[in-house]
Structure 1
Amino acid sequence: MAQEFRSGSFWRAAMAEFVGMTLFIFIGLASAVGNKNNTAPDQEVKVALAFGLAIATLAQSLGHISGAHLNPAITLGMVVSCQISALKATVYVVAQMLGAVLASGIMSKLTPEETSLGVNSLADDLTPVQGLGIEFLATFQLVLCVLATTDNRRKDVTGSAPLAIGLSVGLGHLAAISYTGCGINPARSFGPAVIRKTFKDHWVYWVGPLLAGVAASLLYDFMLQPHSEPYSKRIKVLRGEVEVEESGQGTSQWPRQ
């Protein structure tokens, strides 16, 4: 673990998460804050497209450096799936949160002070528990998409994984934006909340997505597409305690960024 911490690639990956999150939140908030009527269906489509296309673009640009998680829920899912270490995940999440706060701060200076800055909030007729359920399911499909489309054991994926993930983000927004503003990303919800100092029902935007990240990872790795290696061995490989074994189809497909 200490060796990983001293690695240059480790900090380049963290920087990629910071830069990527800054750009992602800037683009997403710019599309949301620029709406003259946030409740109009066409404006919701605009925001969904902006968030989705931003993720697709950044995943294509930064995926080879950090994996382009750009979402603590995805990072947590990757930890459960033994794709990254707890140390790297912690640094990733800190980088993501800092990037979100920076982008939100920039947007606050570029827009009128009275704008909401895209702070996520529940619809008037929605309870926190209902909001939690919507955030959970919208994030669940995203993390499941990430795990499935980036699974190198698959030979049937011939299209663009970044595009598929971007479409999944857009899909989540189309489904949830009218109910919760669509967080599906704790850091995305955190940045504007910090700048505007508004944390009403903020726990919903952490608990729902993080639970979804864990649930999607467990479902995919243990039921839908189980690994041939025991979970204990995968943890040891991730820690560097044992070597990755060669197989007839190449090296084990984990861990990945």
Structure 2
Amino acid sequence: MPVRNIAVGRPEEATHPDTLKAGLAEFISTLIFVFAGSGSGMAFNKLTDNGATTPAGLISASIAHAFALFVAVSISANISGGHVNPAVTFGAFVGGNISLLRSIVYWIAQLLGSIVACALLKFVTGGLTTPAFTLSAGVGVWEAVVFEIVMTFGLVYTVYATALDPKKGNLGIIAPIAIGFIVGANILAGGAFDGASMNPAVSFGPAVVSWSWDNHWVYWLGPFIGGGLAGVIYELIFISHTHEQLPTTDY
């Protein structure tokens, strides 16, 4: 059972140089991802006179996030595992692939990376608003939660299948692009309804900088449930438990 692999970790792990380096990698990757993803929406809005919510704006957001996440995962994969998402880190934790203390370092780094990215966007655009995630008209909070659960489940399941599974073999080479593709596809599916976050850090940065917290909890609850379910199901059903747990720097 996955629960047997869950570990809190030793206190010294939180300040170990390898953990701090991994946290820094998560900070930089999340900053790059959020700056490009949110920035593309702001740029599209400026060029089209508030047209980011049009079909063309949705496609633009999908492509920008897919490309940016592909890069963000690639540049940190060998250092931190390339999570770039608190829900991915949580999914890895419940599957026994990362300790709780190391997860906390990742979460702090990811949230700070998103905040800094959004603050930079506000500065370099002359004070333009960094849009916070909101629900579209006619979409209820629990409908949005289910949307986020399903989309994040697909994301974290993809992470497990292409990056965390010890049997992945050469499939691991395409992990970053597969992860980017599923996020881009999910934005096309859910972007018109709740913005398709799948990532609490991506939602947190804009909320802090614009100080807009309406239904913000949706973008934490849904991704954490979806990511946790994916981690438990994949670890329990598809990963052989005859192998030793992978080192945290190798997944």
User: TM-score, with normalisation over the residues of structure 1?
Assistant: 0.86
Match of 1:165 in 2: 179
Match of 2:39 in 1: 30
Could you tell me which runs of 5 or more consecutive residues in structure 1 were left unpaired when the two chains were aligned: 230-250
Match of 1:233 in 2: none
Supply the distance in 1 between the matched residues of 2:15 and 2:38 (Cα, whole angstroms).
34
Could you tell me which runs of 5 or more consecutive residues in structure 2 were left unpaired when the two chains were aligned: 1-9
Match of 1:244 in 2: none
Match of 1:68 in 2: 82
Supply the distance in 2 between the matched residues of 1:189 and 1:138 (Cα, whole angstroms).
15
- CA RMSD, Structure 1 to Structure 2 (Å): 1.6
Describe how 1:187-206 pairs up with structure 2 within 5 A. 187-206=201-220
Supply the distance in 2 between the matched residues of 1:179 and 1:209 (Cα, whole angstroms).
15
CA 255–159 in structure 1, closer or farther in 2 if over 3 Å, else same: closer
Shift, 1:168, TM fit: 1.1
Q: 1:123-147 CA distances to partner (integer Å, 9 max, x unpaired)?
A: 0110101111111111110000001
Supply the distance in 2 between the matched residues of 1:121 and 1:47 (Cα, whole angstroms).
15
Match of 1:7 in 2: 16
Supply the distance in 2 between the matched residues of 1:9 and 1:140 (Cα, whole angstroms).
29
Match of 1:145 in 2: 158
Q: Which runs of 4+ in 1 moved over 6 A?
A: none
Shift, 1:159, TM fit: 4.8
1:99 to 110, 113, 124: 113
Confirm whether residue 252 of structure 1 aligns to residue 244 of structure 2.
Answer: yes
Match of 2:29 in 1: 20
2:134 to 121, 136, 159: 121
Does structure 2 retain, via aligned residues, the 8 Å contact 1:153–1:253?
no
Does structure 2 retain, via aligned residues, the 8 Å contact 1:51–1:169?
yes
Q: Secondary structure at the match of 1:56?
A: helix
Describe how 1:220-235 pairs up with structure 2 within 5 A. 220-223=234-237, 225-229=238-242
Shift, 1:39, TM fit: 2.2
Match of 1:241 in 2: none
Q: 1:5-41 CA distances to partner (integer Å, 9 max, x unpaired)?
A: 3421111100001111111110011111112211221
CA 163–173 in structure 1, closer or farther in 2 if over 3 Å, else same: same
Does structure 2 retain, via aligned residues, the 8 Å contact 1:101–1:194?
yes
Shift, 1:252, TM fit: 3.0
CA 114–102 in structure 1, closer or farther in 2 if over 3 Å, else same: closer
Does structure 1 retain, via aligned residues, the 8 Å contact 2:118–2:205?
yes
Describe how 1:207-246 pairs up with structure 2 within 5 A. 207-223=221-237, 225-229=238-242
User: TM-score, with normalisation over the residues of structure 2?
Assistant: 0.88
Q: Which of the pair has more CA radius of gyration?
A: 1
Shift, 1:228, TM fit: 2.0
Q: Identical aligned pairs, as a percentage? A: 32
Confirm whether residue 177 of structure 1 aligns to residue 191 of structure 2.
Answer: yes
CA 114–160 in structure 1, closer or farther in 2 if over 3 Å, else same: closer
CA 65–198 in structure 1, closer or farther in 2 if over 3 Å, else same: same
Q: Secondary structure at the match of 1:252?
A: coil
